[in-house]
Amino acid sequence: MVYYCKTAYADLEFIVLKEATFSYPLHSHISSYTLGIVQNGVLSLRLNGEENVYQNAMSFVINPYDVHEITCVDAYDMIVLSLKRGFLESQTVLEAEAIIGEYVRILVELGFLEEGNSFLFGERLHFVYAHHGSIFQKHHSLDTVKTFLEEYPEDSIDGEHLSRYSAMSKYHFIRKFDENVGMTPHRFQIQNRVRKAKCLIEKSTSMTEVGLRAGFYDQSHFIRHFKKLFQISPSSYKAACLDLDALAKSRKKLR
């Protein structure tokens, strides 16, 4: 069971997994930090080539562009906080602590987060802000290509054309991109198409339209890649989205 808990902030989201048995393939998150808390069960996280096992009351942080994969060892409960760059740049760390603290309280009340684990997000937040202050000040010759594939993943463009942005030959460019990003340009583009589709799903009722707008040439191609990255179908993802603020208000009315 998985829930995608939306908040009043577009760049702040919680993902709740209950008795999950699936694994996530090799991928990375663009311009967002992932803070995870394992509440029950056991999972293995391979992060930048290093593998660690996490279980009850253990937490981790995945930085932007960190290539990683998660493997289920034993059915697990986990709650994840996703913080995008926009949130970090619009809120001070003290403001973020207050905002996240309020949503943590709601998650505890709803039974999604164990009270004994509620301090772990705040404990990791200062690290995220410190890391963010340094990572996005760096520049790399491949940044132009990465930014293009993040913002316009639906565009049909091959390695030959992309290599021209970096002033490299096609094969040298692909090798350097893989070394820097942790995956080929094509794989990076596909995961960004899936993420664009994820955003479009929340505003559209037509899955066919979503797939085409995100750059997938047919519905089966779209569904296959979406399920591979998120482990659920596009329609199941839409059904799993919850509004935390609305849930909190409903709960108050029922008291």
Q: What is the DSSP string of the chain?
A: -EEEEE-SSTTEEEEEEEEE---EEEE--SSEEEEEEEEEEEEEEEETTEEEEE-TTEEEEE-TT--EEEEEEEEEEEEEEEEEHHHHHHS-HHHHHHHHHHHHHHHHHHTSS-GGGTTHHHHHHHHHHHHHHHHTT---TTHHHHHHHHH-TTS---HHHHHHHTTS-HHHHHHHHHHHHSS-HHHHHHHHHHHHHHHHHTT-S-HHHHHHHTT-SSHHHHHHHHHHHHSS-HHHHHHTEEEHHHHHHHHHHH-
Domain boundary among 109, 135, 161: 135
Does residue 209 lie in a domain region? yes
* Same domain assignment for residues 106 and 153: no
Going by C-alpha positions, the residue among 54, 48, 49 that lies closest to residue 36 is 54
**Beta carbons within 10 angstroms of residue 94's beta carbon:** 9
Distance CA 68, CA 227 (A): 17
pLDDT at 173: 87
| Ramachandran quadrant class, 31 (left: phi over 0; alpha: psi -120 to 50; beta: rest) | left
Q: What is the mean pLDDT of each run of 10 residues along the chain (255 residues)?
A: 93 96 90 94 94 95 93 97 93 95 94 93 91 65 82 85 78 87 89 93 86 92 93 92 89 49
Query: What number of residues does the chain have?
Result: 255
Does residue 38 lie in a domain region? yes
* Same domain assignment for residues 67 and 151: no
**Beta carbons within 10 angstroms of residue 51's beta carbon:** 11
Domain boundary among 135, 154, 171: 135
Q: What is the CATH number of the domain that holds 26?
A: 2.60.120.10
Domain boundary among 135, 165, 187: 135
* Same domain assignment for residues 39 and 71: yes
Does residue 46 lie in a domain region? yes
Does residue 240 lie in a domain region? no
Does residue 10 lie in a domain region? yes
* Same domain assignment for residues 29 and 131: yes
Does residue 177 lie in a domain region? yes
Asked whether the beta carbons of 188 and 146 are under 8 A apart, the reply is yes
* Same domain assignment for residues 9 and 120: yes
* Same domain assignment for residues 123 and 164: no
* Domain assignment of residue 194, given as a range: 143-232
* Same domain assignment for residues 128 and 154: no
* Same domain assignment for residues 49 and 12: yes
Does residue 251 lie in a domain region? no
**How many structural domains are present in the chain?**
2
HSE, CB side, 13 Å, CA atoms: give it for residue 140: 13
Distance CA 96, CA 103 (A): 11
Does residue 249 lie in a domain region? no
* Same domain assignment for residues 106 and 187: no
Distance CA 1, CA 41 (A): 14
* Same domain assignment for residues 8 and 120: yes
* Same domain assignment for residues 42 and 115: yes
* Same domain assignment for residues 62 and 170: no
Q: What is the CATH number of the domain that holds 218?
A: 1.10.10.60
Distance CA 126, CA 132 (A): 10
